[in-house]
């Protein structure tokens, strides 16, 4: 079994239930399957957290940094909190001004909004775009380009993310001895904070989900906390909209209503991957703002799942409006906002697979011909060919194919029926023969020519008649026919409107106790049935005989009396 120690996103194997949903939703297919369980391949993963958001069993999770943050605070070191502007979407608009108070109760000594960093990097990014035009605020997009689209590294704007900018800003403001903890909705922020070039900015990153868990552990009810202010500086009105699709363009004062051909904002894995699928020669944009989560950062995997996406958006907008005009002026500090990006060479699992190997795998699952390739996507891959390539790379299993497994199961079931020594016959709802196996044909000396005939053409049908009448769900008997003594067990397939008979040849077998009991029971039932018919017959006869029967009895009695009298006289 694979061991995942450092992965930001990993599998809780005890909860993994063999559903392949994570494979289906993973935009880069960074999930391998072994023995029915899905594992995240860290080298391929871009930390988008889509699998975390989509897994119905909670088997995919973001590695917790909660203990690390607690240790930072318990160490006595001064710790500042950088709170992502999407916090209003996680804690409801009415609780926004109470969050700083709750964070201070947890031990943070300085609470500031990451919107400060968002404002700074927007200004830096849009000074000019000669060094690139693809915004780099989303760490997942950066990770994707570095791993899968290195040809687009040149269009990345060489500026850090709002989190990194704010971390450096806080340490410049407060002192290098302070620790900074980022709190937001993103799994990729944990990976970004761990990059060597960013360790001077952020000491640790928490998700909103982790923060809520921590407050619950400490018994902090946000609704009961007093209102308090963030210690943020500058005009952040537009920067608080940063987590929404198009928020960075709005912060930078760039108009984009969707009709500009060279300025676009996109969100969601599919759109991001599509735009980056364009070749560098087709890249004629002035500015592209991509957010990997559909709808923007308000749909990150670090949110509580129960909140509706559009309620989240509404609360972010409402908080930005509510906080409008609240400013704390301070001399802007000079910080390093430059970033450098590098390609990831030789990503494991991306080697080319030969056509002959792909074809061999397709043929092994019965998909050698194009018409057999359903491309249903149930395995998690868009096409059967993609699945075959993943199998060749050791990322998938042939058993992930539903149609293949169904066909395999059907073949095994058919094989069992064909080879069993027991005779098996299947009837339709009118008790006509649908099919029978070789053992049944041999036992009762018949062939497929009787298919379509009523079962009574070949055997006693009373047990089947009982099934059809609804008298029971199964019956069994021991009978003799054509010189064969056999055990018959019949049962109904109600959903299919079919009846099945299973027959065992008892001619050469000595009966055991159970079989003798069955014979006794069957004989007793037959005797009771015979007695019942005899009683009914007598009752019906009495109706017709009527008084004549009584007269006959009188005559017989009279004859007997006369006979007795004659005997007595003779004795005298």
Q: What is the pLDDT of residues 107-116, one digit of tens each?
A: 999 999 999 9
Instruction: Tell whether the model's pLDDT for residue 403 goes beyond 90.
Output: no
| DSSP letters for 136-195 | ---HHHHHHHHHH-GGGGGGB--B--HHHHHHHHHHHHH-TTSEEEEEES-SHHHHHHHS
pLDDT at residue 544, as a whole number: 44
Of 350, 346, 348, 341, the residue nearest 146 (C-alpha): 341
* Residue-averaged pLDDT of the chain: 86
pLDDT at residue 202, as a whole number: 97
Return the structure tokens found at 386.
């993609």
Return the structure tokens found at 118.
């968002």
Look at 77-81, 89-93, 94-98, 566-570 and tell me which has the smallest mean pLDDT. 566-570
Look at 101-105, 290-294, 418-422 and tell me which has the smallest mean pLDDT. 418-422
Alpha-carbon distance 276 to 271, whole Å? 9
CB burial of residue 512 (10 Å; 0-12, 13-18, 19+): exposed
Angle CA 216–218–222, to nearest 5 = 60
Alpha-carbon distance 252 to 259, whole Å? 18
Instruction: Report pTM.
Output: 0.74
CA dist list (Å): 565 to 226, 301, 559: 124, 113, 10
Identify how many contiguous H helices and E strands the chain contains and give both numbers.
Answer: 20, 15
Note the residue count of the chain: 572
pLDDT at residue 518, as a whole number: 61
Look at 71-80, 114-123, 404-413 and tell me which has the smallest mean pLDDT. 404-413
pLDDT at residue 444, as a whole number: 94
Sign of the CA dihedral running 96, 97, 100, 105? negative
Alpha-carbon distance 62 to 546, whole Å? 93
Most confident range (mean pLDDT) of 361-365, 454-458, 505-509, 541-545 is 454-458
Instruction: Tell whether the model's pLDDT for residue 55 goes beyond 60.
Output: yes
Cα 416 off chain centre by: 32
> Hey, where are the domains in the chain?
1-63, 64-322, 353-419, 420-509, 517-571
**Residue range 223-245: average pLDDT?**
93
pLDDT at residue 33, as a whole number: 93
**556 confidence band (pLDDT: 50, 70, 90):** very low
Which contacts qualify for 387-391: CB closer than 8 Å, 24 or more apart? 388/358, 388/361, 388/362, 389/353, 389/358, 390/29, 391/361
Compare 376 and 567 and report the one with higher pLDDT. Answer: 376
Query: Hey, what CATH topology would domain 1-63 get?
Result: Alpha-Beta Plaits (3.30.70)
**381 confidence band (pLDDT: 50, 70, 90):** very high
Cα 553 off chain centre by: 85
**Residue range 24-47: average pLDDT?**
93
**412 confidence band (pLDDT: 50, 70, 90):** confident
Query: Hey, what CATH topology would domain 420-509 get?
Result: Beta-Lactamase (3.30.450)
Alpha-carbon distance 248 to 79, whole Å? 28
Instruction: Tell whether the model's pLDDT for residue 541 goes beyond 90.
Output: no
pLDDT at residue 351, as a whole number: 75
Alpha-carbon distance 278 to 288, whole Å? 13
Instruction: Tell whether the model's pLDDT for residue 9 goes beyond 60.
Output: yes
Q: HSE-up of 369 (CA within 13 Å, CB side)?
A: 2
| DSSP letters for 266-321 | EESHHHHHHHHTS-GGG---SEEEEESSTTBGGG-TTS-TTS-HHHHHHHHHHHHH
Angle, helices 139-148/269-276, rounded to nearest 10 degrees: 40
Q: Which SS3 state, helix, strand or coil, does residue 455 take?
A: helix
List all residues 6 or more positions away from 128 whose beta carbon is below 8 Å from its beta carbon.
Answer: none
pLDDT at residue 260, as a whole number: 84
Inter-residue contact 515 to 487 (CB < 8 Å): yes
Alpha-carbon distance 172 to 13, whole Å? 43
Q: CATH for 64-322? A: 3.40.50.1780
**228 confidence band (pLDDT: 50, 70, 90):** very high
Alpha-carbon distance 267 to 291, whole Å? 5
Instruction: Tell whether the model's pLDDT for residue 93 goes beyond 80.
Output: yes
**Residue range 157-177: average pLDDT?**
96
Q: Which SS3 state, helix, strand or coil, does residue 540 take?
A: helix
Alpha-carbon distance 106 to 378, whole Å? 45
Q: What is the pLDDT of residues 440-499, one digit of tens each?
A: 999 999 998 899 999 999 999 999 999 999 999 999 999 998 889 999 999 999 998 999
Instruction: Tell whether the model's pLDDT for residue 533 goes beyond 60.
Output: no
**4 confidence band (pLDDT: 50, 70, 90):** very low
Alpha-carbon distance 81 to 289, whole Å? 26
Alpha-carbon distance 393 to 491, whole Å? 48
pLDDT at residue 528, as a whole number: 54
Look at 159-163, 177-181, 541-545 and tell me which has the smallest mean pLDDT. 541-545
pLDDT at residue 545, as a whole number: 44
Of 376, 297, 280, 381, the residue nearest 23 (C-alpha): 381
List all residues 6 or more positions away from 558 whose beta carbon is below 8 Å from its beta carbon.
Answer: none
Inter-residue contact 175 to 79 (CB < 8 Å): no
Same fold, 1-63 and 420-509: no
**323 confidence band (pLDDT: 50, 70, 90):** confident
Q: CATH for 353-419? A: 1.10.15
Which segments within 197-286 are labelled E, that is strand?
204-207, 263-267
Alpha-carbon distance 161 to 157, whole Å? 10
Counting residues of the chain whose pLDDT is more than 70, the rounded percentage is 85
**537 confidence band (pLDDT: 50, 70, 90):** very low
């Amino acid at each position: 079994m694979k061991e995942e120690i450092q992965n930001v996103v990993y599998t809780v194997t005890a909860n993994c239930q063999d559903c392949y949903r994570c494979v289906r939703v993973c935009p880069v297919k960074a999930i391998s399957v072994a023995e029915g369980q899905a594992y995240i391949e860290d080298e391929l993963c871009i930390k988008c957290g889509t699998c975390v958001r989509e897994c119905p069993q909670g088997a995919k999770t973001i590695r917790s940094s909660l203990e690390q943050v607690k240790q930072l605070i318990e160490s006595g070191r001064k710790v500042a909190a950088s709170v992502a502007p999407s916090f209003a979407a996680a804690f409801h608009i009415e609780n926004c001004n109470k969050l700083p108070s709750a964070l201070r109760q947890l031990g943070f000594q300085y609470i500031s909004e990451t919107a400060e960093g968002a404002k700074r990097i927007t200004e830096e990014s849009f000074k000019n775009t000669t060094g690139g035009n693809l915004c780099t605020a989303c760490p997942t997009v950066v990770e994707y380009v570095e791993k899968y689209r290195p040809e687009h590294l040149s269009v990345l704007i060489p500026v850090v993310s709002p989190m990194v900018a704010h971390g450096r800003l806080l340490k410049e403001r407060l002192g290098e001895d302070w620790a900074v903890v980022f709190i937001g909705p993103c799994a990729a922020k944990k990976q970004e904070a761990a990059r060597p070039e960013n360790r001077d900015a952020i000491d640790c990153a928490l998700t909103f989900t982790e923060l809520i868990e921590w407050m619950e552990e400490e018994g902090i009810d946000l609704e009961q906390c007093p209102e308090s202010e963030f210690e943020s500086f500058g005009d952040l009105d537009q920067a608080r909209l940063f987590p929404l699709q198009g928020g960075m363009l709005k912060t930078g004062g760039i108009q984009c209503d969707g009709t500009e051909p060279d300025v676009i904002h996109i969100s969601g894995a599919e759109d991001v991957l599509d735009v980056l699928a364009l070749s560098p020669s087709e890249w004629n944009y002035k500015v592209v703002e991509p957010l990997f989560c559909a709808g923007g950062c308000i749909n990150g995997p670090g949110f509580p799942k129960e909140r509706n996406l559009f309620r989240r958006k509404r609360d972010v907008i409402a908080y930005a409006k509510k906080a409008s005009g609240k400013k704390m002026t301070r001399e802007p500090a000079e910080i390093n906002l430059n970033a450098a990006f590098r390609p990831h060479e030789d990503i494991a699992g991306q080697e080319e697979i030969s056509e002959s190997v792909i074809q061999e795998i397709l043929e092994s699952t019965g998909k050698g011909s194009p018409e057999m390739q359903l491309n249903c996507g149930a395995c998690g891959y868009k096409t059967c060919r993609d699945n075959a390539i993943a199998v060749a790379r050791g990322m998938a299993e042939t058993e992930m194919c539903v149609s293949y497994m169904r066909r395999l199961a059907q073949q095994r079931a058919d094989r069992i029926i064909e080879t069993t020594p027991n005779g098996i016959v299947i009837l339709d709802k009118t008790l006509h023969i649908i099919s029978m196996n070789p053992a049944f044909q041999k036992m009762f000396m018949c062939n497929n020519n009787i298919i379509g005939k009523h079962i009574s053409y070949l055997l006693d049908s009373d047990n089947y008649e009982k099934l059809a009448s609804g008298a029971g769900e199964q019956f069994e008997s021991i009978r003799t026919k054509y010189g064969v003594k056999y055990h018959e067990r019949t049962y109904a397939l109600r959903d299919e409107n079919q009846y099945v008979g299973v027959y065992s040849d008892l001619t050469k077998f000595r009966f055991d106790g159970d079989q003798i009991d069955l014979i006794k029971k069957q004989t007793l039932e037959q005797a009771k049935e015979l007695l019942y018919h005899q009683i009914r017959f007598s009752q019906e006869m009495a109706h017709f005989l009527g008084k004549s029967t009584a007269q006959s009895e009188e005559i017989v009695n009279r004859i007997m009396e006369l006979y007795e009298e004659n005997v007595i006289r003779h004795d005298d």
